[in-house]
Chains A and B, each alone.
Chain A
């Protein structure tokens, strides 16, 4: 394959900017597409060429494959990088890009298809001897479904076959209620998804979400770049990610990473991907594989010293990885904090508003992947993630200390964000011990809630508001001191 000279980035916000940086740093030309709402974004400002796209909604613009491919063709792009989300796991898009004579920077459409079908992916992985949670799938043989479910060890999790987002899921801790819970889950599945088919799997109590970064080249070579611990979540979305995982023993780390690389090899995986596992009670089970660059990829970059986007570009050009597993080192500890436009005190409700002031601090080991700039307004049109604050330290304690400093010293005014909440999580005793699981934030909600401002802080806030108000100052200036004093007396 020939050199990729021009890359069109089919994404927005921080990830468009992050990809653009590597595209330019490797001597390539960067083209971005953007919806009008993103016209002032960092990626659009720094692109060699930015092409406006439209859609019935802002999100729809970024999902419009035909429009984006046409823009890429017009811009003379050799390749399209989809980032994450949007078209990144759309096999039809990957095929269309190839048919248009360009390179899709990602895996083969077949790999996307296989891993995109969660039931097929699970069967594929299990058939090759990798660990999946013990389960009973109704579709395999409806007549024996309940009997097969009953044969599993408690606790169990019933899931709708067509499900997602936690809807219709039921946990069973007592076999006596299995039948009634199956019936309830069936009726919920029918109601939510128009499909009552179920499957039952072994439920992992207080599970951790641990995933492994893999890279595969077009010549059959696959390596892993170690794991990421992503257990701190709210509403099934990751908030804090770190590597290495504080939970794994050296043996477990080796096993889970080798399992991920083995799965990628079995798929014939090419490009960057992530194999996700559920981990609990010393066992891990395959959850799914994401066939794209992951939001939290920077923590892996910080501890391995490898630029994953640069690797994606090299692999897409047909280059061999050029290094072996033993060459992939892990140095120190890295933590990523997702800065969201949301109010943790109101059940993480998304917030909107201006970015009235934005100053990223100067902290040792800090990297910021930002999608925002001072002066813009944050709308509700897109995902609420504003930026990622990523820190590297010699060990976990140092990384946490640096992350707290970075959050405290970040100046972000005008919109409510989870910045202070993230700092509270990092300061939490349980977080410090590494004892996190996917229910951690809900379980610690009362300890993590921010206290209301005290009296001194309230006075300071009012003083700042009053003194920065030119109109109010002018009014105060116009009143003779004596009159003001009398007015207060008689108050």
Chain B
């Protein structure tokens, strides 16, 4: 149950695990028991991470979690493995799906030039021993397949590009 978490400019991959007592958080092999209490009357919650107890306020809006801790507030963006990564501000903003985490290409289901419908599987990757389908994030035409079956890649590597909508 791995996710990619972004806090300001820091990006961290972490996994949430269920065990008999509750939940644990795994970050690069460092595993700690974690728990979040129900909200108290003032809205605050108690967050437990290992031996530390924090008084926090937590609110969510889509993939963003807002957390106030020790007088400071932060925004944590959670990115699911299937999410398409786009370069913010780039003219090609929604053209390319990027790897959400390091992994290996398991299969490629389409060819350049193919017309695809939103939701159609373009490529299957394997990361953390889990297969993940990279699906079309909109209707369009495949411009490029950046990797072949068996190739490994790092996080944020381009996987599949669609043609710009204006070009179609």
Using a CB–CB cutoff of 8 Å, the interface residues on chain A facing chain B are 354, 356-357, 359, 407-409, 411-414, 416-417, 419-420, 423, 450, 452-453, 456-469, 472-473, 475-477, 479, 481, 484-485, 487-488, 490-491
Contacts and interface: CB of A to CB of B under 8 A. Distances in A.
B18 A476 contact: yes
B20 A465 contact: no
A166 to B, nearest CB: 29
15 contacts: A420-B73, A423-B71, A453-B10, A460-B49, A460-B67, A461-B7, A464-B56, A464-B67, A465-B5, A465-B67, A465-B76, A466-B23, A466-B34, A469-B60, A472-B1
Contact of B72 (A420, A459, A466): A420
Given A464-B47, A476-B16, A484-B1, 19 more contacts: A412-B73, A414-B75, A420-B72, A457-B70, A459-B27, A460-B54, A460-B56, A461-B5, A462-B27, A465-B67, A466-B23, A467-B34, A467-B47, A469-B60, A473-B16, A475-B16, A481-B18, A484-B19, A491-B29
Contact of A491 (B7, B18, B70, B128): B128
B14 A466 contact: yes
Nearest to B78: A465
Interface in B1-36: 1, 3, 5, 7-8, 10, 12, 14-20, 23, 25-27, 29, 31-32, 34-36
Contacts of B17: 476, 479, 481, 484-485, 488
A452 B74 CA distance: 11
Contact of A359 (B19, B43, B74): B43
Contact of B69 (A414, A450, A457, A479): A457
A407 B60 CA distance: 22
A460 B57 contact: no
Interface in B49-104: 49, 52, 54, 56-61, 65-76, 78
What 3 pairs across the A-B complex have the smallest Cβ distances? A413-B66, A356-B59, A408-B71
Contacts of A420: 71-73
Contacts of B66: 356-357, 413-414
Interface residues of B, number: 52
B129 interface: yes
Nearest to B60: A468
B73 A419 contact: yes
A420 B72 CA distance: 6
A464 B36 contact: yes
A490 B1 CA distance: 15
B16 A472 contact: yes
Q: Is the interface of B mostly helix, strand, loop or mixed?
A: strand
A219 to B, nearest CB: 50
A288 B46 CA distance: 52
Q: Is the interface of A mostly helix, strand, loop or mixed?
A: helix
A359 B56 CA distance: 13
B21 to A, nearest CB: 10
B8 A479 contact: no
A411 B25 contact: no
A357 B57 CA distance: 8
Contact of A488 (B15, B18, B36, B69): B15
B42 interface: yes
Contacts of B12: 458, 462
A407 B68 CA distance: 12
A453 B72 CA distance: 9
Contacts of A417: 73
Contact of A463 (B49, B57, B60): B49
A488 B16 contact: no
Contacts of B42: 359
A354 B66 CA distance: 10
B25 A463 contact: yes
B1 A479 contact: yes
A453 B7 contact: yes
B67 A461 contact: yes
B49 A456 contact: yes
A485 B36 CA distance: 22
Given A413-B73, A458-B7, A488 B26 contact: yes
A473 B3 CA distance: 12
Contacts of A456: 49, 52
A487 B128 contact: yes
Contacts of A354: 61
Contacts of B59: 356-357, 413-414
